[in-house]
A and B are shown apart, each in its own frame.
Chain A
Amino acid sequence: MIIVQNVTKRYPVRGGLRTVLNDVNLRVDPGEKVGILGRNGSGKSTLIRLIGGVEAPDAGTIHRGMRVSWPLALSGAFQPALTGLDNLRFICRIYGIPIEDKIPRVQEFSELGRYLYEPCKNYSSGMRSRLAFAVSMAVDFDCYLIDEITAVGDDRFRERCQKELFEKRADRSFIIVSHSPSYIRQRCDRTAVLLKGQLHHFSTVEEGLSFYREHSAQV
């Protein structure tokens, strides 16, 4: 399970510190699918980065009791000058898993074709997210951190993600960040809404969605 306890995160801005997350708590058990809603800049991606261990909280603790993926976000995780294949090799190396047998699977799922041998900086956002998904499935995680990345794919990619991720890996945990209520509604067991640095918890998806709707109208 993942336990986020009393986590606070501040970033330096002009003229002081801005508190992005203020005393946030979250618990995710194995197999749970949690949707995190929030407007742009509400700290969703920051929370995901903290859970993923990319950054350290200023206060509080994060317990990662399972194999947590890196944040599957549009920016990051791939070195832009390297090819998709070299990035796959790099990730396999740092996770200590064999590379060669992963290549055909990544090739197939990412549908990148010859682009797998091109630098990642030449990829479209859809291509980048396909590669991110394909590679993250090659490593095998217990909990996937999904930061808006599914939003950019076309229907075909979304279908494949749905099948590979939410059907074949239905026993895994997911933390999904989105500002799309319909995406969260389809895939999550419960929701939490980030508002002014606070994380509000709701035991059903609909409660969270209506809270989000209510408050996203006001600033």
Chain B
Amino acid sequence: MPQSATNPMPQGAAPWPGASLLESLRIQLRVIGALLMREILTRYGRHNIGFLWLFVQPMIFVLMITLVWTTVRLRHFDHMSIVAFAVTGYSSLMLWRNTASRCMNAVNPNKSLLYHRQVTVLDLFFARIILEVTAATMAFVFLVLIFWLVSAMPLPSDPLQVFVGWGMLAWFGLGLALVVGAAAHRFPTFEKVWRPVSFVLFLCSGVMFPVDSLPPRAIEILLWLPMVSGLEYLREGYFGPVITFHYDMLYMTGANLVLTIAGLLAVRSITRHGALA
């Protein structure tokens, strides 16, 4: 007997009867791959100018930040390249902020694709998350190389720590995107609330200022935000211990875990209630 018989959750099941677990996994990867191609088409269009914007946007930001901190001299920047500071800040912001906001409207435009039983709501989110994380990573690598080539910033002093910090921020982006995406699907007004909230989070996340320049009490409060730890850890890896960087990676790991599990549960509840209904 083919095994799909008593599967109470047909979503995610193989399109054909008698598929093994490995086969199902292969199908799911195939679906996410197909969704990625589909997302690229509407995200960047068939014209390459859409793709170029991915690099132009952060470059404008980097130039602005550089301008500000070159005018306002802060002792923290005595041993830290301002350009590198801006590059690490903005690309890590893309990693969680873009990922979350892109997942806010991941289901509706793709609703009709859920008619194919191998396509699940989770796949729709994963495709967008993978695309945004890849885009942010490409922008980061590209900006580092460009500014390094024109001698505007150094290469990382501890690439492994930068890599780990980047991975932790990407994981945070994934968990946040699942939660935000599911909430926005469930409550249409969530999107209106999220925009100002995410802007405040951006201001607090240490993207634009060295956390160490704040009073100790403020640092303590900011460290409640997991992405602050991720960015500070990444920056320490990039610059070396030239100033004090503030982070709590154990806390960030816990927060990431909670977000991811909460996100997966929320997405499952959308699936259960029928995203099409």
Interface residues of A (CB under 8 A from B): 3, 11-12, 49, 52-57, 61-67, 70-71, 73, 75-82, 86, 89-91, 93-96
- Whether B41 and A86, one on each chain, are in contact in the complex, defined by CB atoms closer than 8 angstroms, is yes
Instruction: Assign chain B's interface to a size class.
Output: 35 or more
Q: For the complex, give the distance between the alpha carbons of A63 and B3 in Å.
A: 8
- Whether A80 and B112, one on each chain, are in contact in the complex, defined by CB atoms closer than 8 angstroms, is yes
Interface check B110, CB cutoff 8 A: yes
Q: Which of B1, B8, B27, B34 contacts A56 (CB 8 A)?
A: B8
- Whether A75 and B112, one on each chain, are in contact in the complex, defined by CB atoms closer than 8 angstroms, is yes
Which of the candidate stretches B13-21, B58-66, B130-138 sits at the interface with the other chain?
Answer: B13-21
Contacts of A3 in B (CB 8 A): 5
Contacts of B11 in A (CB 8 A): 53-56
Interface residues of B (CB under 8 A from A): 1-2, 4-11, 13, 15-17, 27, 30-31, 33-35, 37-38, 41-42, 109-119, 271-274, 276-277
Q: Which of B9, B15, B109, B115 contacts A67 (CB 8 A)?
A: B15
Q: How far is the CB of A43 from chain B (nearest CB, A)?
A: 12
Q: Which of A73, A82, A95 contacts B38 (CB 8 A)?
A: A82
Q: How far is the CB of B24 from chain A (nearest CB, A)?
A: 12
Residue on A nearest B110 in the bound complex, by CB:
A79
Q: What secondary structure prevails in chain A residues at the interface with B?
A: loop
Q: How far is the CB of A198 from chain B (nearest CB, A)?
A: 21
25 example contacts (A-B, Cβ-Cβ < 8 A) are as follows: A53-B11, A53-B13, A56-B9, A61-B5, A65-B1, A65-B5, A65-B17, A67-B16, A67-B17, A70-B115, A73-B115, A76-B112, A76-B114, A77-B113, A77-B116, A79-B113, A81-B42, A82-B38, A90-B35, A90-B113, A93-B30, A93-B33, A94-B118, A94-B119, A95-B15
Q: Which of B9, B15, B34, B274 contacts A90 (CB 8 A)?
A: B34
Q: How far is the CB of B69 from chain A (nearest CB, A)?
A: 41
Q: How far is the CB of B204 from chain A (nearest CB, A)?
A: 35
Q: For the complex, give the distance between the alpha carbons of A94 and B119 in Å.
A: 8
- Whether A89 and B37, one on each chain, are in contact in the complex, defined by CB atoms closer than 8 angstroms, is yes
Contacts of B1 in A (CB 8 A): 65
Residue on B nearest A9 in the bound complex, by CB:
B274
Q: How far is the CB of A83 from chain B (nearest CB, A)?
A: 9
- Whether B6 and A53, one on each chain, are in contact in the complex, defined by CB atoms closer than 8 angstroms, is no
Q: How far is the CB of B113 from chain A (nearest CB, A)?
A: 6
Q: Which of A11, A65, A95 contacts B277 (CB 8 A)?
A: A11
- Whether B112 and A70, one on each chain, are in contact in the complex, defined by CB atoms closer than 8 angstroms, is no
